[in-house]
Amino acid sequence: MICSRCGKETSQIYVTRMRDEDTRLSLCPECHRALALNTHGLLPYNEEEKASGECPVCGMAYEEFRRTGLLGCANCYRAFRRELMPIIQSVQGDTVHRGKKQENIPEEYYDRIRTLVDRIDGLKDSIEREMRRGAYARVKTLNEALKEADADLRDLNRELADGRE
C-alpha cells in the first residue's frame, strides 16, 4: 500500500476515531510519526513543541489541548492560532472554510457574496481594534460602512432569492 499522506513509501493501515466515526488511514512510518495518532484524532506531533500559554477567556492551557484534543471555548482558536493552523491544515486540507455550494447558483453570486463577507469581517475586526484604541470617531465611520455592507449583502441575498423563484 502507498501512504495516503506522502504517496511514497509502503504503508500500514491505522484506524482512529474522528467525529464519532472510525477513519482508516494508510500511513508510512515517517508520516505516522509526523502525525501522532491518538484517541482524539490526528494531531501533528513535534517533540520540541512547547506550551504557548493559555486562553485569556477560559484559562485553558495549550498543553491541555494537546492531551485532550479539545478546546475550552471559541476564543481558544484565537489564543492558539499559531499552533492550530498547521493542525487544521493537516486534518482538513485547508485553513479556510469554503462551505457547500448549491449547484443552481451562478458563480458570480458566490464571488460577490465572498467579497462582501470578507469586507464585513474586515470591518468588524477594524471596529474591535479601534474600540480598544479609543478611536470612537473612526469606529462611527466604520460602523456606517458595516451597515452599508450588511445592506448590500441583504440586497444580494434578496436578488438571489428572486432569481430562483
Q: What is the mean pLDDT of each run of 10 residues along the chain (165 residues)?
A: 75 61 70 54 42 77 85 86 81 70 72 88 90 91 94 88 64
The per-residue pLDDT for 49 is: 41
The per-residue pLDDT for 52 is: 55
C-alpha cell read off for 83? 499552533
Which residues face 16 on adjacent strands?
23
Question: Would you call 91 exposed, middle or buried from its count of C-beta atoms within 10 A (0-12, 13-18, 19+)?
Answer: middle
CB 55 within 8 A of CB 76: yes
The per-residue pLDDT for 4 is: 75
Give the C-alpha separation, 52 to 60, whole Å: 11
